[in-house]
Amino acid sequence: MSSRFPSPSIPPFLSPEPADLGSLTSSCSLNELDNISHLLRKISADISEIKGMKAAILTVEANLFYLNVRVLQNEAKILSLEVKMNFQERIEFESYQAEMSDLNVAQKPEKLLERCKYWPACKNGDECVYHHPISPCKAFPNCKFAEKCLFVHPNCKYDAKCTKPDCPFTHMSRRIPVLTPKPVTSPAPSSSGQLCRYFPACKKMECPFYHPKHCRFNTQCTRPDCTFYHPTITVPPRHALKWIRPQTR
C-alpha cells in the first residue's frame, strides 16, 4: 500500500554524491576569499601576540616570585639580626647592672658601731652610716647607756619637753638643750698687773703697766659692780675740747 504523502525531493547541495570543487570555487566570489584569508591572518597574529603577552606575564610573575623570595630572606636576616642585637643588648645591660650593683656595694660605707643621734627621725634611712636600733633592749630600765644604747628603749612621754639629761627613754623629737648662763668675766689685767701710777694722766703709748679700760657710759653708768674705769671728774663738753689756734702778733 503506497503512502498518502509523496516522498520529498533531496536538494542538490545535499546530494550524497561528492560535490565538485571546481564548481564550489567558481560559485564563491574572489572578494569573500580575500576577506576570509585576511581574517585568518589577523586571528593568527592575535594568537601570536597573546602568546607573547602570556610569556611576558609568566616572566614578570617569575621575577615577582624571586623578588618575594629575596624579600622574605632579607626579612629573616633582619629578624635574626634583631634577635642577636636584643640578646647582646640584654647581656650588656645585665652586665652593666651587675657592675653597678658591685660598685654600689663597694662604695657603700660600713656602718659605725655608734647610735645615730637623729634616730628614729633620721632622714637617711638605711643609707645612714650610723647604727639604727632594731631589737628591744633587754637591760631596760636598768640600762646605763641611755641614748647611746644600741637597742630600742620605750618612748618618753615628755618627748622633746623632757629636761632630764640622763633619761633612759627614747625621744622621737630632738630635745631643746638647756642653756646655762655664762659667767661674766672681768677684763684681764696686763702682764705686769701693777697699776700705772700716772693713770689716768699717763701719756706713754707703750706703758708696760696696767691701764684700766674706760666705761663707755662714763659717769652715767648705773652698775655698781662695773669693772671698768669711771673718772671722778666730769668730762668737759665737746665745744670746750675744740682746739683753737693761738693768736700771734
Dump the DSSP string for 166-219: T--SB-SSPPPPPPPPPPPPPPPP-SS-PBPTTTTS---TT--SB-PPBPTTGG
Q: Out of 2-11, 96-105, 194-203, 233-242, which region has the weakest mean confidence (pLDDT)?
A: 2-11
Confidence check: pLDDT of 135 > 70: yes
Q: Tell me the average pLDDT of the chain.
A: 75
Confidence check: pLDDT of 14 > 50: no
Q: Please, are residues 113 and 131 in contact by the beta-carbon 8 Å criterion?
A: yes
Q: Which of 19-23, 49-53, 188-192 has the highest mean pLDDT?
A: 49-53
Band of pLDDT at residue 163, cut at 50, 70 and 90:
confident
Q: Out of 24-28, 156-160, 206-210, which region has the weakest mean confidence (pLDDT)?
A: 24-28
Other C-beta atoms within 10 Å of 244: how many? 5
CA distances from 192 to 1, 61, 189 (A): 193, 122, 8
Question: From CA 67, how far away is CA 56, in angstroms rounded?
Answer: 16
Q: Please, are residues 230 and 218 in contact by the beta-carbon 8 Å criterion?
A: yes
CA distances from 34 to 27, 39, 184 (A): 15, 9, 148
Per-residue cell: 144: 646605763
Question: From CA 72, how far away is CA 124, in angstroms rounded?
Answer: 58
Q: What is the pLDDT of residue 158?
A: 83
Question: From CA 208, how far away is CA 77, in angstroms rounded?
Answer: 101
Question: From CA 170, how far away is CA 156, in angstroms rounded?
Answer: 6
Q: What is the pLDDT of residue 233?
A: 65
Q: 135's torsion region: left (phi>0), alpha (psi -120 to 50) or beta?
A: beta
Band of pLDDT at residue 169, cut at 50, 70 and 90:
confident
Could you give the maximum distance between any two Cα atoms of the chain, in Å? 208
Q: What is the pLDDT of residue 2?
A: 47
Band of pLDDT at residue 13, cut at 50, 70 and 90:
very low
Q: What is the pLDDT of residue 28?
A: 54
Confidence check: pLDDT of 48 > 80: yes
Q: Domain boundaries in the chain? A: 29-107, 111-177
What average pLDDT score do residues 228-238 get?
71
Q: What is the pLDDT of residue 102?
A: 63
pLDDT digits (tens, 9 = 90+) for 170-227: 877 665 555 555 555 555 554 557 888 888 788 888 888 888 888 888 777 888 888 8
Q: 218's torsion region: left (phi>0), alpha (psi -120 to 50) or beta?
A: left
Q: For the domain 111-177, what is the CATH code? A: 4.10.1000
Question: From CA 134, how far away is CA 117, in angstroms rounded?
Answer: 15
| Side-chain-side CA neighbours of residue 46 (13 Å) | 6
Higher pLDDT, 226 or 236: 226
